[in-house]
Amino acid sequence: MTTIRVRARVGDDHRVVVTLPAEVTPGEHELEITVRDEPTLPPPFEVVLLDDDRPKRFPSRPTNPALIPEYEAFERMLPELMKAHAGKYVAVRGGDVVAVGATEIDVLTAAHRQSPGTLVYTRLVTDQPQPIPRLMSPRVVRRDS
């Protein structure tokens, strides 16, 4: 037995054409057709996101001496960046914004294409502290012999 459920728009001529799948063999079959006034849709579902309870902080000053001037340039430009690029990532090199994108990977890729091998400072343009990333620690799995 093959069950097929279709939704169709019935025109003024009251005709609906149904093409059956290949697994239905030619010959005599019993087809059951039920017409409902309203389509039965599954109930809507709700997505509940839990509050992010991780501690938050502002990004700290880089430890690499080559990135410190870029960090300071970002901090100076932050008010203007908030107006133009809030919620996006930027890459700063030589005190200038060299790339803007939706993700850090996009920004790093664009900056690397412009000048391969040159360090850039990347950061999300926001004036809010960000959650501290969680680093998973490795687990040792012991196997009994």
- The pTM for the full model equals 0.58
Q: Would residue 144 count as lying in a domain?
A: no
Q: Which residues contact 22 (CB under 8 A, 6 or more apart)?
A: none
Running DSSP on this structure, what letter comes out for residue 99? E
Running DSSP on this structure, what letter comes out for residue 43? P
Higher pLDDT, 89 or 3: 89
- Which own/partner contact pairs does 87-94 have at CB distance under 8 Å and 24+ positions apart? 87/124, 87/125, 87/126, 88/124, 88/125, 89/122, 89/123, 89/124, 89/125, 90/122, 90/123, 90/125, 91/120, 91/121, 91/122, 92/120, 92/121, 92/122, 92/123, 93/118, 93/119, 93/120, 93/121, 94/70
Confidence of residue 33 (pLDDT cuts 50, 70, 90): confident
* Angstrom distance (rounded) from CA 9 to CA 38: 12
Report the chain's mean pLDDT, rounded to a whole number: 86
Confidence of residue 141 (pLDDT cuts 50, 70, 90): confident
Q: Would residue 26 count as lying in a domain?
A: no
Q: What is the pLDDT of residues 78-113, one digit of tens each?
A: 999 999 999 999 999 999 999 999 999 999 999 999
Note the pLDDT of residue 28.
85
Running DSSP on this structure, what letter comes out for residue 21? P
Q: Would residue 4 count as lying in a domain?
A: no
98 phi and psi angles, rounded to 5 deg: -110, -15
- When mean pLDDT is compared across 54-58, 69-73, 121-125, 138-142, the lowest value belongs to 138-142
Q: Would residue 66 count as lying in a domain?
A: yes
Running DSSP on this structure, what letter comes out for residue 80? H
Per the structure, how many domains does the chain have?
A: 1
Q: Would residue 64 count as lying in a domain?
A: yes
Q: What is the residue range of 87's domain?
A: 56-131
